[in-house]
Amino acid sequence: MRLPGGCASKCVVETFSRRIFGSYFHVWGRRGCNTAAFMPEAAGFGAVSHRAALQEFSVSSSGTFWAAVAQQRLSWISPFHTVQDCDLSRGKIQWFVGGKLNVSVNCLDRHVHTCPERVALIWERDEPGSEVKVTYRSLLEMTCRVGNLLRRRGVKRGDCVTIYMPPCPLAVASMLACARIGAAHNVVFAGFSAEALAERIRDAQSSTIITVNQGVRGGKVTDCPTVRQVFVAMRTENPVVMTARDVAMEEEMLKEDVVCEPAAMDSEDVLFLLYTSGSTGKPKGLVHTQAGYLLYAALTQRYVFNYHDGDVFGCVADIGWITGHSYSVYGPLANGGTTVLFESTPIYPDPGRYWEMVQRLKINQFYGAPTAIRLLLKYGDQWVHKYDRSSLKTLGSVGEPINTEAWEWYHSVVGDGRCPVVDTWWQTETGGICIAPRPSDPDAEIVPGMAMRPFFGIKPVLMDTEGEVVTFNNTTGALCIAQPWPGMARTIHNDHQRYFETYCQPYPGYFFTGDGAYRSKEGYYQITGRLDDVINVSGHRIGTAEIEDVVNQCSAVAESAVIGYSHDIKGQGVYVFVVLKKSVEIQEADLSRQLNDMVSKKIAKYACPDCIQFVQRLPKTRSGKIMRRVLRKVVECELNGLGDLSTLDDPAAVQEIIQGHHDLLSKQQPR
């Protein structure tokens, strides 16, 4: 099906049609037809006769590739005139320039025209068996009511609305309502503390908040001078104290019309901000824009997971993370799919929850995090065997490396050895999946624990320590992406300089991911972990500096250093070294409790220390820099690999730390 609207630059359009007619019928053999059946746009790409060739084409002729896909898969109000206008070396990224569209129309209206009663959302509520299904027709109505309400209450195009809600249809309708009226949304993970929420509201200069009644909402926005109004939806029956600023959301929505005129947005207008951790103490609000983000989320959702019309897509990530944005909301809805919003946890009411849900909802693609897989593996196979998982076709993993044992269990026990497991590598910054085993030929090998193959339009490169591109295989390096793609974040809200310095400056002309990777003999990629001071706890990103900032606020603490260490369930645990102030007399257990409270109050529970070691001093260089490399080796028990200690100010500090760590291990077995 070809959707209305959409027209690339003159040159691209000409090439595209010439290729369709010039080569499709003459040059392609049977395999060519398969490629076109696999991706209809391929008919216009010349002699692209197999899937690997399609990937090569998407990289070598990325303008032609993305123009065709954007025309085919998005509904435009007016066509773009330039496919891309990018210069990575300057941090300038623009796609589909001149085009106008509305993201909510792409996710809703066009499907309401063709299949209004198709289920868009399945809200898998905390209590198993109480799911709520929302059709495209009713999701559009809900979205329009919220859009009208926001407009009536003064929210304008270009404003930023903060959404602080667990996964639920109203959260999705709120995101889409923002998109409908041209406001940006800023979803804050509902597990973040009041202070973390406040920081994100302030940084985003958000004056409107949408939240739910339950929890400690009252205290959550008190010290945010930018906040003008708070829409409160009732998730439970429990009454909460409403202030003059608060608006009862459902009540007000009922007064609104179910038709809401969509704003005509430029491709490069802001769609949303999403805060994530970097290597400083301050989280950064990554900015994603309209057309490129949506297209990339949609294409990856369809091709990485082999999603087909009628399938039920089950991404269990929270909508507060990028995975929830791209694969619970935008990707599946742009494709007219049915998507699950999971409100619960993998072990509630018991460790069979996921698989009971798979059976009940007949989920076809299941997308989860390695930390949950590792946890469930420990509970044993019986929780999986109890349920019928024959609906499953693809299993996905995201957020952190998946170890071989967890991968094998996922593949053989959960998927009965039938379903491809796709270990998907990507980031908040990349907008969607960049490296994954699929798409590829249907029987192409999948190596456990490897993300393996770049997606369409993605050209990964590895850099050596000199900053040069490594051309050979069977090697490791800093993972960069050599050319822009539509899904990438465009900037950091209010801080383009930080964007430039973090992603563009380290390797000029390349996008630097912050991750290291190994490229195998066969050319497959495997992510080896972060190269900066960001750690990954249960699949959640957190900067060690953010935790240190909180720990250092404790009046008893002189200084601290936070390190990630291998943790068999969480992937990484938080290990804190603390130096107390000289005169302080405090029980270590009391202080540990205090530090835990502070981190959970100021950041979130998931960032709390797993292990706290009190030390006399930290290993430092003569210029006063903490040598984290040494601390990391100590907590990983790699004492032979401590490396060059000659620049240390006081080598005895290391011996003391090794001893302290040893004592702690024997006392509390932190791993």
Residues that bind ligand WTA (CB under 6 A): 276, 321-323, 398-401, 423-428, 451, 513-515, 527, 530, 536, 541
Residue 92 bridge partners (DSSP): 87
The nearer residue to ligand WTA, 64 or 424, going by C-beta atoms, is: 424
At 261, give phi and psi (nearest 5°): -60, 120
The nearer residue to ligand WTA, 121 or 434, going by C-beta atoms, is: 434
Do 28 and 53 form a contact (C-beta atoms < 8 A)? no
Secondary element (H or E) of residue 438: none
- Cα–Cα distance between 451 and 53 in angstroms, integer? 19
For the chain, give the number of residues: 671
CA angle 106, 110, 116 (to 5 degrees): 125
Peptide bond into 670 cis (omega under 30): no
The nearer residue to ligand WTA, 120 or 452, going by C-beta atoms, is: 452
- Cα–Cα distance between 186 and 572 in angstroms, integer? 27
CB of 58 to ligand WTA, least distance (A): 21
CB of 321 to ligand WTA, least distance (A): 6
Residue 409 bridge partners (DSSP): none
The amino acid occupying position 302 is R
The nearer residue to ligand WTA, 67 or 287, going by C-beta atoms, is: 287
CB of 328 to ligand WTA, least distance (A): 12
CB of 286 to ligand WTA, least distance (A): 8
CB of 381 to ligand WTA, least distance (A): 24
The nearer residue to ligand WTA, 65 or 503, going by C-beta atoms, is: 503
CB of 398 to ligand WTA, least distance (A): 5
Separation of CA 177 from chain center: 21
The amino acid occupying position 4 is P
The nearer residue to ligand WTA, 438 or 620, going by C-beta atoms, is: 438
User: What burial class does residue 569 get, using C-beta atoms within 10 Å of its C-beta: 0-12 exposed, 13-18 middle, 19+ buried?
Assistant: middle
CB of 436 to ligand WTA, least distance (A): 8
The nearer residue to ligand WTA, 85 or 636, going by C-beta atoms, is: 636
CB of 378 to ligand WTA, least distance (A): 21
CB of 635 to ligand WTA, least distance (A): 19
Paired tokens of 25: 């019928």
- Cα–Cα distance between 664 and 600 in angstroms, integer? 23
Residue 133 bridge partners (DSSP): 122
The nearer residue to ligand WTA, 232 or 562, going by C-beta atoms, is: 562
The amino acid occupying position 453 is R
CB of 53 to ligand WTA, least distance (A): 25
- Cα–Cα distance between 136 and 122 in angstroms, integer? 11
DSSP state of 599: H
The nearer residue to ligand WTA, 206 or 428, going by C-beta atoms, is: 428
Neighbouring residues of 408: CB distance < 8 A, sequence distance ≥ 6: 448
The nearer residue to ligand WTA, 16 or 327, going by C-beta atoms, is: 327
- Cα–Cα distance between 473 and 394 in angstroms, integer? 29
CB of 616 to ligand WTA, least distance (A): 33
Secondary element (H or E) of residue 580: strand 571-580
The nearer residue to ligand WTA, 503 or 577, going by C-beta atoms, is: 503
Phi-psi region for residue 129, left (φ > 0), alpha (ψ -120 to 50) or beta?
left
Alpha helices per DSSP H over 543-651: 544-552, 588-602, 628-635
CB of 452 to ligand WTA, least distance (A): 10
The nearer residue to ligand WTA, 35 or 502, going by C-beta atoms, is: 502
CB of 454 to ligand WTA, least distance (A): 13
The nearer residue to ligand WTA, 411 or 661, going by C-beta atoms, is: 411
The nearer residue to ligand WTA, 493 or 541, going by C-beta atoms, is: 541
DSSP state of 433: -
Which residue, judged by CB position, is nearest to ligand WTA in the bound state?
428
The nearer residue to ligand WTA, 233 or 341, going by C-beta atoms, is: 341
Neighbouring residues of 316: CB distance < 8 A, sequence distance ≥ 6: 340, 342, 346, 354, 366, 367, 368, 369, 372
- Cα–Cα distance between 198 and 368 in angstroms, integer? 29
CB of 57 to ligand WTA, least distance (A): 25
Strands (DSSP E) along 466-531, which ranges?
469-470, 475-481, 491-492, 511-519, 525-530
The nearer residue to ligand WTA, 311 or 400, going by C-beta atoms, is: 400
Separation of CA 454 from chain center: 17
Secondary element (H or E) of residue 46: none
CA angle 489, 59, 300 (to 5 degrees): 55
Paired tokens of 213: 């009644």
CB of 271 to ligand WTA, least distance (A): 17
The nearer residue to ligand WTA, 32 or 314, going by C-beta atoms, is: 314
CB of 323 to ligand WTA, least distance (A): 5
Paired tokens of 372: 């949950």
Do 160 and 129 form a contact (C-beta atoms < 8 A)? no
CB of 342 to ligand WTA, least distance (A): 16
Secondary element (H or E) of residue 288: strand 284-289
CB burial of 270-285 (b: ≥16 within 10 Å; e: otherwise) equals bbbbbbbbbeeebbbb
Secondary element (H or E) of residue 649: none
Paired tokens of 319: 């909508």
- Cα–Cα distance between 30 and 33 in angstroms, integer? 5
